[in-house]
Structure 1
């Protein structure tokens, strides 16, 4: 495996310089592929369910969005383990890496039982959406099944930071891609009832996701406790470290609350749109499912930006942190431009799989035409969506999570209120609602660009820095590489 710190640098070259194109792509491309594998998995899941019925697809989309909203707080904390790992790595403190990872594990284990109390509450939660009864029943079933995967989702995220935070992202790519392929196979077998299994429909899709998540958690657990990591990284130090878990909660909780607020706002938007009608719900589900083809790879780039910012801040090189962020943004905008043009010029290429397994109907034709228009909205906000994601991840990688939380609280509540007005009071219809989403993303992109340019993040750290002798510094650097 190539390590970013072993690559010779040429400061006159955008490609070869420190925090340049090559370093960014070495870290980010495996994460992009990993994110894309999750995207493909969910996309295929939606396609299979659309073949089953449009109602099943729409219900799964709404239920999985609420499920993810439920996860967001602990997931944000577990994900923030990667920031601790990256800064400890940059600061040449490998012995702190393993304990930091396991604090995320304990967060996952302790909070999962609380989250799973949502299983009996599901009928009440989905009754608030006021969807059609048969769709509500499907939403409840799918949501309750997904909840059994909550501990696995959180544990896998925490343990994967052992590799992602150190820039060893190829391992993350291999595990996540393999698990995504497993999920696709299980989806097909359990949804449609192949190879002797009963056809379970939407329940089969839910159990396929749960099974895949537990396999993923088990794989990362076995990888982290390998003998070769135990001495240098203390990767088998499972003790609950109160001061360390306290700092993880201090910096990670605002990040998690940001996820909660953003996703809850998005969930409220989806549920409000569902009140507009079956066609609007199906078209929105398809458009957002297709939009993840643009969104999730950028999520991979954003994770890389956070990791590189953390590593270079750990080295006390905020100049390289800034350069890595701008380089990542440049690459992300190229990708997002290409995808956005495809959404406008050849939208049918993305929509066709949803209709391949069923006969055309009036509802399908209406949903097709509406989804084409909605993809134009996606194209309109994609570039600023990428800008927002890269810069928010960069400042979170430094520890600027309270600011992110404040912005999310204000913006998400504003979006929910405006969406309610659009649906229930002004009656602007589906396109008015999507116009609000577009403006919301534009404003967020500008806010986080301004915050990054302000530079307050440059002096932030989430770890306790140490001063070591040059000989020990060289020894620790050799371990990390």
Structure 2
């Protein structure tokens, strides 16, 4: 067994946990926000280009993420496995699980890519407006190829985060976000001598920036962490490690699919109402997604720190760290809710061209949807934090079941009932989102604290 370098040691006390958590979480939060900015830039640019094209990219992104997020479960599974192995000093195990994670995501991408590239007829058959489905299909015919570099980025993010190399994630993602904004403006609108390509331009830029991001992170990992010999014998199978990643990863993919499927399903339902409500839904969801990036960063950080606690057998430190993270998440959720309620039109107006004739309707619908987003902030933060804690102790199967129950058995039927049976349309669909997030937060937090009361040696085989 090759020895891994020593990671940072646990910090004592509540303030120590807060410092340690923030030191790991802040670069992750920043990189998540920068990653959000990449997609948000596309939404803003398409909103200024054409509202129907904006609806198309919202639909395409929702469909893409259903498939992408399922495969990313294998990449996410690498994070707690690497964190625990590194804390135990086992560099060989770090390399093995990372290599087998790569095998799994590449195999998944090979199966899924044709569905993305030729998704146009499938989207049209889902009851969407023909012009919106056409835009979405044209976008994915090009951008569908990016699932390979996007999954590689997800894997390398897990590897680097677990080894506490998070600053590179922040700076590389900022660089890619700037590249995406500049190239997107050039190719969507045809500026600086480039051809005007509209939504196809956005697709080519997405493919280019994801590929650049994957190469940048891989180069950093090989250069800065040579002791893990990340590219050594990539072709060599390690069936035991593959089994560990697969058993931990497929429930993560299922849980992520349940959550993203809820929001993608809501986009489909709002699309049945019309292009303007779908555009408003996309803009409001972008704003809610921005605040979610902080909770996601905290969740990723507690996955690493809980995985480290698992490697040390530190039950008390794990519980204290969890409480600190929950208090941080709740405080930010309350702040974000206040911003959504006080300045909704100011926020929404950033995404729609002032001269677009549909702008007043988009803003009118969006204000109500942002009020509902304010309601679910604390529950959205709590559910993703609970998921991060559970992943850290390598508990993923039951959380997948609880997520599916909350999102698909309760959430989607509630969204359909309030939206179309009771006539609430897009507002009713969002009420279903609120109900599902309340259920998920309650069930997943209860699951974590029930397990946290047990000895950690009984949780890690």
For Structure 1 versus Structure 2, the TM-score category normalised by the shorter chain is over 0.9
| Residue 311 (structure 2) pairs with residue 314 (structure 1) | yes
C-alpha separation between the residues in 1 aligned to 2:291 and 2:282? Answer: 15
The residue number in structure 1 matching 2:3 is none
C-alpha separation between the residues in 1 aligned to 2:320 and 2:160? Answer: 23
C-alpha separation between the residues in 1 aligned to 2:170 and 2:255? Answer: 26
C-alpha separation between the residues in 2 aligned to 1:253 and 1:10? Answer: 35
- Matched positions, count: 453
C-alpha separation between the residues in 2 aligned to 1:208 and 1:458? Answer: 49
Write out the 4+ residue segments of structure 1 that deviate beyond 4 Å after TM superposition: 456-465
The residue number in structure 1 matching 2:377 is 382
| Residue 345 (structure 2) pairs with residue 342 (structure 1) | no
C-alpha separation between the residues in 2 aligned to 1:159 and 1:148? Answer: 19
Of 219, 229, 236, the match for 2:231: 236
The residue number in structure 2 matching 1:5 is 8
Of 205, 219, 230, the match for 1:208: 205
**Change over 3 Å in CA distance of 1:461–1:128 after alignment to 2:** farther
Of 395, 398, 409, the match for 1:403: 398
- The alpha carbon displacement at 1:73 in A equals 2.0
- The 5 A counterparts of 1:75-474 are 75-119=72-116, 121-226=118-223, 229-230=225-226, 232-237=227-232, 238=234, 239-355=236-352, 357-361=353-357, 363-414=358-409, 415-455=411-451, 459=455
The answer as to whether partners of 2:79 and 2:159 remain within 8 angstroms in 1 is yes
- The alpha carbon displacement at 1:120 in A equals 5.4
C-alpha separation between the residues in 1 aligned to 2:454 and 2:48? Answer: 50
The answer as to whether partners of 1:86 and 1:165 remain within 8 angstroms in 2 is yes
**Change over 3 Å in CA distance of 1:248–1:441 after alignment to 2:** same
The answer as to whether partners of 1:102 and 1:158 remain within 8 angstroms in 2 is no
C-alpha separation between the residues in 2 aligned to 1:456 and 1:300? Answer: 21
The answer as to whether partners of 1:87 and 1:463 remain within 8 angstroms in 2 is no
The answer as to whether partners of 2:7 and 2:86 remain within 8 angstroms in 1 is no
User: Which residues of structure 1 form unaligned runs of 5+?
Assistant: 466-481
- The alpha carbon displacement at 1:457 in A equals 8.0
C-alpha separation between the residues in 2 aligned to 1:206 and 1:94? Answer: 39
Q: Deviations over 1:309-366 (max 9, x none)?
A: 00111111122122222212212222222111110011123112123x44152x3212
The answer as to whether partners of 1:4 and 1:26 remain within 8 angstroms in 2 is no
The answer as to whether partners of 2:38 and 2:177 remain within 8 angstroms in 1 is yes
Q: Deviations over 1:259-316 (max 9, x none)?
A: 1222223212210111112321121111101111111221111111111100111111
The residue number in structure 2 matching 1:21 is 18
The answer as to whether partners of 1:306 and 1:397 remain within 8 angstroms in 2 is yes
- The alpha carbon displacement at 1:143 in A equals 2.0
The answer as to whether partners of 1:98 and 1:162 remain within 8 angstroms in 2 is no
Secondary structure of the structure 1 residue equivalent to 2:8: helix
The answer as to whether partners of 2:118 and 2:137 remain within 8 angstroms in 1 is no
Query: What is the RMSD computed on CA atoms of the aligned residues?
Result: 2.1
Q: Deviations over 1:401-451 (max 9, x none)?
A: 011111122222222233333344332222222111111111111111211
Relative to structure 2, which stretch is displaced further, 421-430 or 197-206? 421-430
Relative to structure 2, which stretch is displaced further, 27-36 or 239-248? 239-248
The answer as to whether partners of 2:269 and 2:429 remain within 8 angstroms in 1 is no
C-alpha separation between the residues in 1 aligned to 2:24 and 2:251? Answer: 25
**Change over 3 Å in CA distance of 1:68–1:448 after alignment to 2:** same
Secondary structure of the structure 1 residue equivalent to 2:192: coil
The answer as to whether partners of 1:99 and 1:234 remain within 8 angstroms in 2 is no
Q: Deviations over 1:7-40 (max 9, x none)?
A: 8x453xx32x3xx110000000000000010122
User: Which residues of structure 2 form unaligned runs of 5+?
Assistant: 1-5
The answer as to whether partners of 2:60 and 2:136 remain within 8 angstroms in 1 is yes
C-alpha separation between the residues in 2 aligned to 1:432 and 1:264? Answer: 17
C-alpha separation between the residues in 2 aligned to 1:89 and 1:457? Answer: 24
C-alpha separation between the residues in 2 aligned to 1:102 and 1:256? Answer: 18
C-alpha separation between the residues in 2 aligned to 1:204 and 1:23? Answer: 42
The answer as to whether partners of 1:102 and 1:159 remain within 8 angstroms in 2 is no
Q: Deviations over 1:82-140 (max 9, x none)?
A: 11111111212123212221211111222211111204541232023312211110011
The answer as to whether partners of 2:117 and 2:144 remain within 8 angstroms in 1 is no
